[in-house]
Amino acid sequence: MTIAERITVTKSIDARGMACPGPLLALIGAIRQGKVGDVFEVLSSDPGSRSDVPAWVAKAKHELAEAAEDTGFVRFVVRKTH
């Protein structure tokens, strides 16, 4: 898979303003409904997400393609691998 394909977002979830564990639950729900190879972008202002999203993605064995700090929120990009 090329980098260009990897960063094409299938679905974007703007979870800014949602309290912990809302953004993680939104990501889990989206991944469960998605197809293998789908890429999900989650925007979260919840401080818990900084640790929770990477921990869950690792545990669930998906791929965290990006975790980028922005102003007041973090942008996570996760690829569904199975």
Partner 1 sequence: MDDTESTVSFVLFSGTDDRLSAAAILAVGAAAMGRPVNVFLQYWAVDAFRKQKVMADHGVAPEAGPAGASLVRASQTGDRHWSELFRQAKDIGDVKIHACALSMELFAITQEDLDPLVDDVEGVAAFMSDATSGPITFI
CB of 2 to partner 1, least distance (A): 29
To the nearest 10°, report the CA torsion of 82, 74, 48, 81. 0
Contact with partner 1 (CB under 8 A) among 24, 39, 74, 78: 24
Q: Give 80's Cβ-side CA count (13 Å radius).
A: 19
Task: Name the packing angle between helices 22-33 and 49-59 (round to 10°).
Answer: 30
> Binding marks (x or -) toward partner 1, 62..81, rule CB under 8 A?
--------------------
CB of 21 to partner 1, least distance (A): 5
Q: Does residue 35 bind partner 1 (CB under 8 A)?
A: no
Which of 7, 19, 20, 58 is catalytic? The answer is 20
Whether the CB-CB separation of 62 and 80 falls below 8 Å is answered with: yes
Residues with a catalytic annotation lie at 20
